[in-house]
Structure 1
Amino acid sequence: MKNIHRFLLVFFLAVSVSTVFASSDEHAEPASQETHEKEKFEPGSFIMDHIADAYDWHVFSIGDFHATMPLPVIVYSQSSGFHMFLSSNFHHGHASYKNFSIATEGEYRSKVVELVNGQEVRPFDISMTKNVVAMLISMAILLWVFISVAKAYTIRKGKAPKGMQSVMEPIILFVRDEVAKPAIGEKKYEKYMPYLLTIFFFIWLNNLMGMVPFLPGGANVTGNITITMVLALFTFAITSINANKSYWKHIVNTPGVPWWLKFPIPLMPLVEVMGVFTKPFVLMVRLFANITAGHMIVLAFVSLIFIFGQINTALGLGTSVVSVLFVVFMNLLELLVALIQAYVFTLLSALYFGMATEEEHH
């Protein structure tokens, strides 16, 4: 436990020391008053920039002054090999660094690209982006919590739960008794409990951290479709590996279906095979869409303040009252959605495991 505490302390100290205070206009020529007047607020860019992944972590802004935490950029180029540097090298007036830059438009927008023979080429990118760092922080928190709880159970064996134990035990029992057992069965549920608990707490914690507007929160982890895709693929892999003979037999030769739906055109088998792949697809899209939609709605209400403020200052101030009230309401609703989405993903995964391992009825 001391090692985990030291790791977290060193990490946040390193973050604090390496924070780069950079202004977007720091090395640019001063803009004229007329240019500032013509500058318009773009809600689309504002929303997408906040929910998208990034190579640095925005901390706060005051006017044109932006405080950001640089993150390690790690890329492999076929022409020049591995490169590792901080994302701050892309700032301070430098559009590129060692022929690498962040694309501002096109297919690779907001991604690191390399300029090769006058063309933008996407290198193999394993950078420590905002979402990656957020996942590492959430994993460190989960390890700290569960190692503490496990240690407490060892020390206080046979005694009533206390402290963190009393918080975590009802949740764990809920997942076991209300999700795993009914969906998988009394005899087989224990095998899948570690995975079900892991995805439940991982999704729930990252949903909650995504609602926190300051470091170490604010990353849109579960609103990133690549992350939800990986979680869905884990469920798909576990389902396929543990599926029994009866499960595959049902897919190939669905019982109780008229023969003319199977021969000469195997219509039902094709539908069943499609169902095997649509199940993880639904898991992926449901989590991504619900979390992203919640963030976008909140940001849209915030955008209304600036949109109406450009028309008239008083109108912007009046709109801010309504927008703030709706933002507070949406945040309260998102607290519930954060838990519901973790529960739904875990429940559906358990149902898929139960369907794949169910014995054939005669």
Structure 2
Amino acid sequence: MLLSFAGFSQEAHGEHHADEAQHEEEFNATELIMHHIKDAHEFHIADFNGKSYSLPLPVILWTNNGLVTFLSSAFHHDDSGKVVVERNGQKFVRLHDEIYYANAENGITFNEEHHAENDRPLNFSITKNVFTLFLDAALMLLIFIPVARSYKKNSKAPKGLAAFIEPLIVFVRDDIAVPNIGEKKYAKYMPYLLTVFFLIWFGNIFGLIPFFPFSGTLTNDILFTGVMATITFLFTLFSGNKDYWKHIFWMPGLPVPMKIFMIPVELIGMFTKPFALMIRLFANITAGHIIILSLFSLIFIFKTAFVSPVSVGFALFMNVLELLVAALQAYVFTLLSALFIGQAVAEHDHH
């Protein structure tokens, strides 16, 4: 994160010198921060001598003429819609990391609100968040496949990597799954709960490794957190027993008018739970990144090096705090997922 911020700062500084002859451009902290935390088609590494150095990623589009693929470097780091890429008889432009068909004038057409009106192809590109997801999945396979094999071959106390992983697995089982789902039914949900816990934890850690160029953070993307929350919702939905649905559509022990009143309340509650899961996971990690980048931005806003000790000190403190939040959010999401599933499979004695 620190290296990325330095690179972006150089980029902003370089743009400032380019326009200096026309007018003095103020440092835009909001634009810089939003550019850093959002998903992108390339990994920005640094700026040096007026040039931007990035690791391009594959652009995969399903267009009017079929499948089109090329590297994001074809846009020459341009994100303003000015560079046109021609492939398979079609022209494309990139604006704010969204890819559009170029119009007849080889550019972007804007409406009165300055929103692009161009049509867009279906975009299946490998963005930095998707790449980080693949990296996260590969790391989990590299860890858990050898650990599983060692348990099959050895009945003794675990050693090495297995000794490190076992307490975490036992923690998810004994402190999350069993108390919330129950001893009789927790086992079939353990694969999902373990996957969620380690996927979110490792994904958060990737975004906090200093000087690591592949610094995409999975939970910075609300689409990722939305998919995770939706999967938990589907597990809850299809695991629900008759008692679960009875408590939603005809709550036992209440007068008939209250039952009718509670039906829409319970139905709304079904959807607010995954929505809260999605927002909580997205907001906590994203807020931490914004705070860290805002602290660094103070140096450029006040235009003095005297602010740097305070900014760097608090930023380092926040970075350490983010390590705790990375694990805490994995725990909270897994805990709430187990709680919602447990409510769906619980059996009630209404007598």
- Structure 2 CA distance, aligned partners of 1:32 and 1:323? 28
Partner of 1:305: 299
Q: CA deviation at 1:75?
A: 0.8
Unmatched tracts of structure 2, length 5 or more: 1-9, 110-117
| Counterpart contact for 2:229–2:277, Cα < 8 Å | yes
**Residue among 237, 255, 259 paired with 2:256:** 259
RMSD: 2.1
Partner of 1:100: 92
Describe how 1:105-144 pairs up with structure 2 within 5 A.
109-116=96-103, 119=109, 120-144=118-142
Partner of 1:201: 198
SS in 2 for 1:74: strand
Q: CA deviation at 1:297?
A: 0.4
**Residue among 184, 188, 192 paired with 1:187:** 184
- Structure 2 CA distance, aligned partners of 1:351 and 1:44? 38
- Structure 1 CA distance, aligned partners of 2:192 and 2:241? 19
Partner of 1:90: 75
SS in 1 for 2:220: coil
- Structure 1 CA distance, aligned partners of 2:236 and 2:219? 22
The 1:32–1:172 alpha-carbon spacing in structure 2 relative to 1, beyond 3 Å, is closer
| Counterpart contact for 1:74–1:82, Cα < 8 Å | yes
SS in 2 for 1:38: coil
Question: TM-score normalized by structure 1?
Answer: 0.84
The letter of the residue matching 1:252 is F
Q: How many residues align?
A: 320
**Residue among 37, 44, 67 paired with 1:51:** 37
Give me the identity figure in percent: 47
- Structure 2 CA distance, aligned partners of 1:81 and 1:147? 38
Partner of 1:337: 325
- Structure 1 CA distance, aligned partners of 2:126 and 2:291? 28
The 1:175–1:227 alpha-carbon spacing in structure 2 relative to 1, beyond 3 Å, is same
Q: CA deviation at 1:150?
A: 1.4
Describe how 1:1-362 pairs up with structure 2 within 5 A.
31=18, 34-35=21-22, 38-62=24-48, 64-78=50-64, 80-91=65-76, 95-98=83-86, 99-103=91-95, 109-116=96-103, 119=109, 120-155=118-153, 157-215=154-212, 217-262=214-259, 266-309=260-303, 316-362=304-350
Unmatched tracts of structure 1, length 5 or more: 1-22, 104-108, 310-315
The letter of the residue matching 1:284 is M
The letter of the residue matching 1:288 is F
SS in 2 for 1:121: coil
- Which has the larger displacement, 211-220 or 235-244? 211-220
- Structure 1 CA distance, aligned partners of 2:97 and 2:25? 22
The 1:177–1:129 alpha-carbon spacing in structure 2 relative to 1, beyond 3 Å, is same
| Counterpart contact for 1:137–1:216, Cα < 8 Å | no
